[in-house]
Structure 1
Amino acid sequence: MSFELKYAIIHSFTKESKQSYATNIVKKTALLKNELPAVMSLVQGVSALLGKPGNILSYGQFSNDMRQGKFPAEFDCYSSKPLDAAAFISMSHLAVDELAAASESESFSTGGHILVSYYLIDNKKFILVAMIKQRGGVSLDKDYVPIAVTEIDLSKVHQAARINLSRYVEVAAQPGLSNDDDEDVVEERTYLSFVGQGTHNLASGYFVKALGCTKGISSSRATGNVISAVRTFFSSAELKPHRSAACNGVIAYLKKKLDAKENAVLNDLVYAAIATLTEGQSAIIDQLKEFLNDERTKIPAEFAIHAPTLRKKTMIKGETANWTMQFEQGMLGLTANAAIIYNEDKKTLTFTNLGEKLISDIESELKQR
């Protein structure tokens, strides 16, 4: 995976928890020098942490509810032309101004150093805005130039937003949405990923609100994606024997939460999937969490469960002119202990555990022939 850093800069503002105002807003005018190893390590390190356990991402786009602040509209102007150094610095100044102002509405928010960077990963352009603390592996000099970057503490990068600029340009070129568009069409227009508004991290929600971010993954897409993604993850030779149990565990969890009218939580979904594993759980937990939360699958930290999609994903249906059948996927198997047995050679289904009522009806019908 190639990484190319274009620009990076660090600003700051001061605000203490329970304080109602931000002070000492410092907006630098000189870019950091890309050739400095500590600069490259910092930007790459922070970018790599997004989506890792402890920094689970939500996906979405800029809001247009008239409460999104100045950043989305200004960013649109910057994205329509080559992002040179002067435009980048101006955009970064706007970001820190909006962050400082928004922090005042959240009593538990705190200030710090704001890293803004523009880089390419495999030729895809990204803008990253992240709050960093001068501890947990990051040291800055008096001019906010990184002088030492060791292993960055996951818990110190819990406020960040990343804009897929390449994707943003693609979405901007598409026709506008109408009220008739379904929620999956809306989801296809996501270009933001962010931390700071997920489960158990509400106090830092001001960070993504300041930049005008809003969640955009539909409940139907998230519900369907998580079941498909777990099936894919457990398709390796090592994990395939556990695939059925993993899918059944996730489905059972989703049904339980749906019945309780509660949201699904990514961390809990992962534990539901690996519940039957007896070895290597700790390694698989992190791997599965990253797999589900990455840019392709986009399972957010928390989402509402879409009942029709859950039914569709968990039921197998079939019919001819003479009969109709419907059963849960978990009932299907290849061995004699399955409730419904599929014979791969004969291409037939055998139903077991029919129940006394059904058996009685079948035998009564046969006796009358």
Structure 2
Amino acid sequence: MTILVTGAAGFIGFHLSARLLKEGKRVVGLDNFNDYYDVQLKRDRWAQLVASPSFRGVEQDLADYEGLLALIREEGVTTIVHLAAQAGVRYSLTNPFAYLETNLTGFGHVLEASRQAGIKHLVYASSSSVYGANVSMPFSVSDNVDHPVSLYAATKKSNELMAHAYSHLYNLPTTGLRFFTVYGPWGRPDMAYFSFTQRIMAGEPIQVFNEGKMQRDFTYIDDIVEGIYRLLDHAPQPNPEWDRMQPDPGTSYAPYKVYNIGNNKPVELMTFINTIEDKLGRKAVMEFKPMQPGDVTATYADVDGLMADVDFRPETTIEEGIGRFAEWYKSYYGAHADLETAVKAAGQ
């Protein structure tokens, strides 16, 4: 089996690729190394992957459809895990075209290349953001998700619709994964837990929105990777019980399925911050801010589908996960962060 992982220098892509290599799989990793966040962090992840003889790293943009199709054919790719995307809710408010180009056009290229190359299973990243204005908890893949509250969420919902069209038209097995607030070592600097840690280590105030009363289903990276790994050999089959009169959005008469991957245990933001403080051994200076456009008050994943189909439920506690992230952060950034703190303290 040769697996193509798009966005392999990204947070989830890196961890998944490392797991696949550990399991003896051959991995082709693709990334364009855009500068949405620190490119050096991506390079450092990438360097660990290219050290393996079973990994071929390709620096290429999904905008190059012909190059993508040629790569898939040349490498004999049988399965694709599509994780490359323009992420971030708030960034979509000021840079909408980045989402249209990457999340829509880029995904369209992946779908068409998968069809042309006869891919046996396409797994792709969706997001808990698709639940948008929904307030019924926990979020279920059987819920209607037609009311996104950000362009990012709208592009992810669009990905699910595009995937279904290809599953219907060309019998392409597609699995969409709605990730819930992923965190852990080698994470994305634009994520709240990462920026909180940066600022706490540097002695700078953190911005806490909605008075810290928001809840998130924080999900540790190893749990996410385990869920993806188990699903790779579990390509969706048409559901013979699918009812056109009462359509279930999470499954289909076509080889198409959507799963939630979340911790199934939402945590209030203030509790999350307190855990970061505890693991860093430092207190945060907090600036309380109102709710931001595009944000939602809570996320909570129903993971029954994941449990039923691949017998897996994420189990890493916040204390365990944040502890591991804090250890990695201090190892990767420690000297620089401590210097910033010392300089700031001396200035005071």
Shorter chain as denominator, the TM-score bin is under 0.3
Q: Higher strand proportion, which one? A: 1
TM-score, scaled to structure 1: 0.24
Query: Higher helix proportion, which one?
Result: 2
Larger Rg: 1
